[in-house]
Structure 1
Amino acid sequence: MVELSAALLFVLAISASFFAAWTIGAGSSGSTPFAPAVGANAITTLRAAFIVGLLGFAGAVLQGAAVTETVGAGLVEGVTLSPLASAIALTIAATYIAAGVFAGYPIATAFAITGSVVGVGLAIGGEPAWDTYAEIGLYWSVTPVAVAPPAYVVTKLLRGEAVSEKLVVTVLGASVGLVVANMEFLFLGPPGEQASFAAVVAARLPGSSLFGVATTTAAVAAGTAWLVARALDRDRVGAQRRFLLVLGALVAFTAGGGKVGLAVGPLLPLAEGAFPVGAIILVLVFGGIGILLGSWMAAPRMIKALSQDYSELGPRRSIAVLIPSFIFAQIGIFFGIPMSFNQIFIGAMAGVGYAVGGDTVSERKLVLTAVAWIGSLVFGLVVGYLLQTVAISLVELA
């Protein structure tokens, strides 16, 4: 009977994890990245959904390890999540996220899942991981405020006449290349570790590793700038659309890497117990498949809806939203911080809105959204703690 109960809990945890991954793919991770390109008629809705699913899967497998490890083992100290605790945390979070997706409300996935994991972890006797909370809290607090000014500046530059559009877009392309050169991927580093393209190349160059990384980064940034400038010379409108496609691809990839850990992080301790070798790869592939299917099955409807908003923004303002969003999301992945793409995108959209006059920005709605996000964190924490405590009591009575 005990073995049967443990097996049922394991199945429940896996099912809830997969459902959470599916909702991530169906939500902002599967729809927002390519909505600007669809709005600019650079790609069709169905093709965008197909590509974003593949890129989300690739990002999950190649860049999802850091956030997965934080969610799975870094939020509570001194304990390992049991099958029961994992099942409760994932069921709470998946239900909450699904309610937001089907209601059409931007739920902050990172807040809901982080809260539920911390809640069940504390209930089984874990200690708060204060250092991790400080890092996460700083990132969550700073990101929506810090992402708005770059979006504002880029919008002003692209709309103004003081600096040529070609120069602005070329510099933006160079900044994207700089970040891409330093994105860390699982299979570039030693077994179980991540490394960036710049670091791998630097290891093969003479001199210090810091100089090698700087040189490689500069070369990639310069090469990207040259390609963008050349494309703009040939066809300015076509180059803008292709730039949007590239940005959408990078954001979709980043979304997979940044959010898969929210769905599969609580599964990691269980997978490590069952598969001591290769557990991280196993859960990342599992979560990536969930994101892939969510994107293919549900994202087209949301892409179509969002593309109407982005078509009103136009290619220039869409670029101003996507570039800082991509950069700040990659910062979160680098530090292994659970992130909310809704939070990042809304901050960038607010910056763009203020740049064009501020009439489209509802400060009241921004405040209410922030309160809802904080509420989702508290909800997950309290409900997770209470349900886990009740479950422990029931097990003891049985």
Structure 2
Amino acid sequence: MVATAVVATFAVAALASLFMAWAIGAGSSGSTPFAPAVGANAISVMRAGFIVGLLGFLGAVLQGQNVSNAIGTELIVGQTLTATAAVVGLLTAAGLVAIGVFTGYPIATAFTVTGAVVGVGLALGGDPAWAKYQQIVTLWVLVPFVGGGVAYATARTLRSERVKERIAVPILGGIVGALVATIQFALLGDGDGPRSIAQVASDLLALPPVLGVDSGVIVATLLAALLAGGLLYQDMAADEARGQRRFLLALGGLVAFSAGGSQVGLAIGPLVPLLDDVTVPLIALLVGGGLGLLAGSWTGAPRMIKALARDYSSLGPRRSIAALIPSFAIAQAAVALGVPVSFNEIIVSAIVGSGYAAGGAGVSRQKMVYTVLAWIGSLALALGVSYTVFLGVDALF
């Protein structure tokens, strides 16, 4: 009877997690990666939603472990989440995110889920994980300044008459290629954990270390940068507009993949402490969460893609490229650190930064104020509601 009750409760929690994954796919991970590309008329809204769903699923399966573990085990000290706590936290967060989807305002998913999990954890009697909170808040505060600042500087550079786009864009492509070479993948890992393409290539190159540094990794990273930059240079030499458009779509794909790796943890993270009781492997949760993200991207993302692409800033190809490069870099840094991060915050900050490079053209200040208030409010509201609801459920049952 006890085992049956545990499995039944886990099933309810899993359904709540699936709903959360759908809400995230429809809102954060499904809408933000290709919003700049849609705004630049490089891809249609419906096609963007279809592609981002597939790439988000791959990212969830291949990179979702770090953030999932952080959400499930690192936000509360001295107490493990129960199945009931997971259900309350997930339903609270998913409900708030769904409200954001249907009203057209991008609720910061990471704020909402983090607040909900902390709320139920405190209601369980756990203690705050202050060190983890400091790491999370530091990243959240830095995102608008770093993402928006890099996007602004990049857009200003591309708009400068003294800079030739045929040279500048391939250089940016080389930087992105180097970043891709350093991404950690579980499939490439060994007994010591996940590894990057550059690390695997370093083993094949078998170069001696220099001053204690693995020279093979450096060489492999530089080769990836030269390859990406060289291919993009050839493409732009043949047709500059087509080269820019292809680069923009490639960036959107990389951000979509990164979104899956980060956002799936927000959906399935609360279930991680329950895995030992039901003997379900983490990879099964990652696949299930990835499918939920995919479903959300295909059914609910077009509305939010349109909102981000056209309501926040009127972006051309250059400003869109400038917005997506820091978004990709920040997303991968968050995945590597195991820190939950809001893709709405990342993308919106970068969109605004690149928009101000053109004198603030098309940037809606009023909507930005409402969005920031929604982010702060979602964190406080999720924490308070989940804490109160869990205490009520616990008292009744």
Q: What amino acid does structure 2 have at the position aligned with 1:228? A: L
State how far apart, in whole Å, the 2-side matches of 1:307 and 1:386 are: 37
Q: What amino acid does structure 1 have at the position aligned with 2:301? A: A
| Match of residue 254, structure 2, among 243, 246, 250 | 250
Counterpart position of 1:275: 279
| Match of residue 291, structure 1, among 273, 280, 293 | 293
1:212 and 2:216 matched: yes
1:22 and 2:26 matched: no
1:332 and 2:337 matched: no
Q: What amino acid does structure 2 have at the position aligned with 1:135? A: Q
Q: Give per-residue Cα distances to partners, 1:250-273, cap 9 Å, x unaligned.
A: 011111111110000001111233
Counterpart contact for 2:13–2:83, Cα < 8 Å: yes
Provide closer, same or farther for how the CA distance between residues 106 and 301 of structure 1 changes in structure 2, counting only shifts above 3 A: closer
Counterpart contact for 2:30–2:49, Cα < 8 Å: yes
State how far apart, in whole Å, the 1-side matches of 2:391 and 2:320 are: 46
Q: CA deviation at 1:65?
A: 0.8
Q: What amino acid does structure 2 have at the position aligned with 1:118? A: V
Provide closer, same or farther for how the CA distance between residues 373 and 299 of structure 1 changes in structure 2, counting only shifts above 3 A: closer
Counterpart position of 1:92: 92
Range 383-392 or range 153-162, more displaced: 383-392
State how far apart, in whole Å, the 1-side matches of 2:166 and 2:54 are: 31
Q: CA deviation at 1:92?
A: 0.5
Provide closer, same or farther for how the CA distance between residues 359 and 237 of structure 1 changes in structure 2, counting only shifts above 3 A: closer
Q: Give per-residue Cα distances to partners, 1:342-389, cap 9 Å, x unaligned.
A: 111121122122211125445554344323212211112222222222
Q: What amino acid does structure 2 have at the position aligned with 1:338? A: P
Range 306-315 or range 369-378, more displaced: 306-315
Q: CA deviation at 1:98?
A: 0.6
Q: CA deviation at 1:103?
A: 0.9
| Match of residue 239, structure 1, among 236, 243, 257 | 243
Q: What amino acid does structure 2 have at the position aligned with 1:236? A: E
Q: What amino acid does structure 1 have at the position aligned with 2:238? A: R
Secondary structure at the aligned position of 2:340 is classed as coil
Provide closer, same or farther for how the CA distance between residues 192 and 252 of structure 1 changes in structure 2, counting only shifts above 3 A: farther
Provide closer, same or farther for how the CA distance between residues 210 and 130 of structure 1 changes in structure 2, counting only shifts above 3 A: farther
Q: What amino acid does structure 1 have at the position aligned with 2:247? A: F
Secondary structure at the aligned position of 2:314 is classed as helix
Counterpart position of 1:148: 148
State how far apart, in whole Å, the 1-side matches of 2:361 and 2:230 are: 37
Q: Give per-residue Cα distances to partners, 1:279-330, cap 9 Å, x unaligned.
A: 2211111100001111122223443554545993111111111111111111
Counterpart position of 2:320: 318
Counterpart position of 1:266: 270
Counterpart position of 1:354: 356
1:394 and 2:396 matched: yes
Secondary structure at the aligned position of 2:235 is classed as helix
Q: What amino acid does structure 1 have at the position aligned with 2:215? A: F
Q: What amino acid does structure 1 have at the position aligned with 2:140? A: W
State how far apart, in whole Å, the 1-side matches of 2:131 and 2:12 are: 31
1:12-91 maps to which residues of 2 (within 5 A)? Answer: 12-91=12-91
Provide closer, same or farther for how the CA distance between residues 105 and 381 of structure 1 changes in structure 2, counting only shifts above 3 A: same
Provide closer, same or farther for how the CA distance between residues 132 and 374 of structure 1 changes in structure 2, counting only shifts above 3 A: same
State how far apart, in whole Å, the 2-side matches of 1:39 and 1:124 are: 45
Counterpart position of 2:197: 197
Counterpart contact for 2:313–2:352, Cα < 8 Å: no
Range 178-187 or range 3-12, more displaced: 3-12
Provide closer, same or farther for how the CA distance between residues 393 and 11 of structure 1 changes in structure 2, counting only shifts above 3 A: same
Q: What amino acid does structure 2 have at the position aligned with 1:382? A: G
After superposition, the CA RMSD in angstroms is: 2.1
Q: Give per-residue Cα distances to partners, 1:124-149, cap 9 Å, x unaligned.
A: 12222111111001000111111111
Counterpart contact for 2:32–2:343, Cα < 8 Å: no
State how far apart, in whole Å, the 2-side matches of 1:236 and 1:359 are: 24
Secondary structure at the aligned position of 2:187 is classed as helix
Counterpart contact for 2:106–2:304, Cα < 8 Å: no
Q: CA deviation at 1:171?
A: 1.3
Provide closer, same or farther for how the CA distance between residues 371 and 40 of structure 1 changes in structure 2, counting only shifts above 3 A: closer
State how far apart, in whole Å, the 2-side matches of 1:380 and 1:309 are: 26
Q: How many residues align?
A: 393
Q: CA deviation at 1:2?
A: 6.3
Q: CA deviation at 1:207?
A: 2.1
State how far apart, in whole Å, the 1-side matches of 2:38 and 2:348 are: 19
State how far apart, in whole Å, the 2-side matches of 1:95 and 1:192 are: 39
Name structure 2 gaps, 5 residues minimum.
Answer: none
Counterpart position of 1:372: 374
Secondary structure at the aligned position of 1:313 is classed as coil
Q: Give per-residue Cα distances to partners, 1:99-135, cap 9 Å, x unaligned.
A: 1111111100000100111111122122221111110
Provide closer, same or farther for how the CA distance between residues 306 and 110 of structure 1 changes in structure 2, counting only shifts above 3 A: closer
Q: What amino acid does structure 2 have at the position aligned with 1:384? A: S
Q: CA deviation at 1:214?
A: 1.5
State how far apart, in whole Å, the 1-side matches of 2:44 and 2:349 are: 27
Q: What amino acid does structure 2 have at the position aligned with 1:293? A: A
Q: What amino acid does structure 1 have at the position aligned with 2:264? A: V
Range 349-358 or range 31-40, more displaced: 31-40
State how far apart, in whole Å, the 1-side matches of 2:95 and 2:27 are: 13
Counterpart position of 1:182: 182
Range 258-267 or range 378-387, more displaced: 378-387
Counterpart position of 1:227: 231
Counterpart contact for 1:56–1:252, Cα < 8 Å: yes
Range 355-364 or range 94-103, more displaced: 355-364
Name structure 1 gaps, 5 residues minimum.
Answer: none
State how far apart, in whole Å, the 1-side matches of 2:145 and 2:284 are: 36
